[in-house]
Amino acid sequence: MEQDNQSNAILVLKCKKRDEKAFREIVNSWEPRLYYYLRRIVENENDVWDILQETWLAVFKNIHKLEDPLKFSTWLYKISHNKAVNLLRKENRYVQMKAEQISDNFENTNTDIDVKERAEYVHKLLNKLKLAHREVLTLYFLEGFTINEMAQIIEVSEGTVKSRLYYAKNKLHEVLKGAKDV
Amino acid sequence: MFETENKPEFIKNLIAQDPPIADKKEHHKEILFKKLKLRIWRGKIIVGTIYLVLFSAAFWAFQQGQNTDNIVRSICWGAVSLHILLWFLIYFLREIYRLTAETLEKSSGKDEKHKWKNQDRFITIVAILVFAFATVILYRSFFLNDYLKAAHLSGYIFWTTVFFLFWYPFGTASLLAKLWLEYKIMELNFTKTEKQNLKSQTE
């Protein structure tokens, strides 16, 4: 993982020097995950491709502004989040959720279920959640972002991210438990 | 819950649940890379054109000085030619200085960004003001009748640039020295850690 981060940082530095080959590599390695993330926010596939296009062009245009290449993933998801939100706002489909009550025992709510082997369940569950919860959970599972990084990406407080994650995880726990019982 | 070694496998499985249509994916990439190529070329063409225009303008001014019968005009056009070239050189030196400062900032990890950026901003503002001042003087010298006075005013062109022609190369040299020092410190630390590791292994 550490090695991946380092090699990605090198690619980012090359991109800063307008290296087309490095940019192609970055697009190829990040696009599947970015596509999955955007599909969880935006329903229409054509819209997703448009957002992806805009995201990559914005990345290419502004990459010189990115100071720490190791923070590329957070920066990339932030751009795509903003692009997606802009589109949803245009269509009046984006409703910012109010901060839910934060549970004190958030850190102890980890499920003991092996989530890695249950990608299919996670995927099905994501579609059942509200947009805001779905987004946080996608970021959490897809990139393993920290609370702080997720808060930066979706531009809400850390408390809000915690509560959304708590709710989404509980829901996940319920579904997985239900599936086990069946 | 999540930080385990199966993470890449899980991500792969998760993404596989909703794969994009291959045709659309390829079409999207084709358009994207075409747009990027165009942007890269556009950038190169713009920079190339700026360089070409500047050098052409300097050469044109030089030719103007050669073709005129008026001594004052001849001196002034020669000064215009040098004025363009010298300020272009200052801009070029500033870019080298800026790049070195950025490299040093990234390699040292210290937050000295604001320090050199504020200094650079101040020097740039001074440079712009001095450039404007020299241009006005040069413009005024065209209306003189006395060629000695015109030659004297043209001398300002050199004096106004001297400070910057010294500042940026010396600044770059000092940054390079700092960069070398950082490298040496890193090298020493590396050797120290390596020795400690060897010592702990033998114990």
For residue A170, give the CATH number of its domain. 1.10.10.10
Q: Using CA atoms in the order B45, B49, B50, B55, what is the torsion angle rounded to 10 degrees?
A: 140
**Listed residues A39, A64, A90: the one ending a domain:** A90
- The confidence band for A93, taking pLDDT boundaries of 50, 70 and 90, is low
Residue of A nearest to B14 (CA): A119
For residue A62, give the CATH number of its domain. 1.10.1740.10
Does A83 share its domain with A114? no
Does A20 share its domain with A79? yes
Helix (H, G, I), strand (E, B) or coil at B21: coil
Q: Do B21 and A120 touch (CB under 8 A)?
A: no
**Listed residues A43, A64, A90: the one ending a domain:** A90
Does A14 share its domain with A80? yes
Does A80 share its domain with A44? yes
Does A84 share its domain with A120? no
* Span A102-119, pLDDT tens digits: 333 333 334 444 545 567
Q: Using CA atoms in the order B9, B10, B12, B16, what is the torsion angle rounded to 10 degrees?
A: 140
Does A9 share its domain with A74? yes
Apex B173 CA angle, B185 and A16, nearest 5: 80
- The confidence band for A179, taking pLDDT boundaries of 50, 70 and 90, is low
Percent of chain A with pLDDT over 70: 80
Residue of A nearest to B41 (CA): A18
Does A81 share its domain with A13? yes
pLDDT, averaged across chain A: 79
Q: Which of B5, B9, B10 to mutate to test the interface with A (most CBs of A within 10 A)?
A: B10
Range(s) of the domain holding residue A159:
106-181
**Alpha carbon of B126: minimum distance to chain A alpha carbons (Å):** 25
Does A11 share its domain with A80? yes
- Predicted-assembly ipTM surpassing the 0.95 threshold: no
* Span A121-139, pLDDT tens digits: 778 778 778 888 888 888 8
Using a CB-CB cut-off of 8 Å, the residues of chain A touching B14 are 36, 119, 122-123, 141-142
Q: Which residues contact A166 (CB under 8 A, 6 or more apart)?
A: A100, A102, A103, A106, A109
Q: Tell me if B24 sits within 8 A of A45, measured CB to CB.
A: yes
Q: Do B18 and A45 touch (CB under 8 A)?
A: no
**In chain B, where the domains are located:** 7-202
Residue of higher predicted confidence among B4 and A84: A84
**Listed residues A90, A122, A156: the one ending a domain:** A90
* Span A37-56, pLDDT tens digits: 998 888 888 899 999 999 99
> CA distances (Å), B23 to each of A17, A72, A87, B126, B153, in order?
31, 28, 24, 56, 68
Q: Do B24 and A119 touch (CB under 8 A)?
A: no
Q: Tell me if B71 sits within 8 A of B147, measured CB to CB.
A: yes
Residue A98: inside a domain? no
Domains in chain A, number: 2
Taking the C-alpha atoms of residue B59 and residue A94, their distance in angstroms, rounded to an integer, is 59
pTM (global) more than 0.90: no
- The confidence band for A76, taking pLDDT boundaries of 50, 70 and 90, is very high
Query: Tell me, what's the pLDDT at B201?
Result: 73
Taking the C-alpha atoms of residue A119 and residue B16, their distance in angstroms, rounded to an integer, is 9
Using a CB-CB cut-off of 8 Å, the residues of chain B touching A36 are 14-15, 18
pLDDT, averaged across chain B: 85
Taking the C-alpha atoms of residue A168 and residue A174, their distance in angstroms, rounded to an integer, is 10
Distance linking the first and last C-alpha atoms of chain A: 36
Using a CB-CB cut-off of 8 Å, the residues of chain B touching A1 are 7
Does A130 share its domain with A84? no
**Alpha carbon of B77: minimum distance to chain A alpha carbons (Å):** 38
Q: Tell me if B191 sits within 8 A of B119, measured CB to CB.
A: no
Q: What is the mean pLDDT of residues B68-95?
A: 91
Chains A and B: how many Cβ contacts under 8 Å? 76
Residue of B nearest to A35 (CA): B20
Q: Does B16 touch chain A (CB under 8 A)?
A: yes
Q: Does A94 touch chain B (CB under 8 A)?
A: no
Q: Does A121 touch chain B (CB under 8 A)?
A: no
Q: Do A52 and B28 touch (CB under 8 A)?
A: yes
> Does the CA dihedral A126-A131-A137-A140 come out positive or negative?
positive
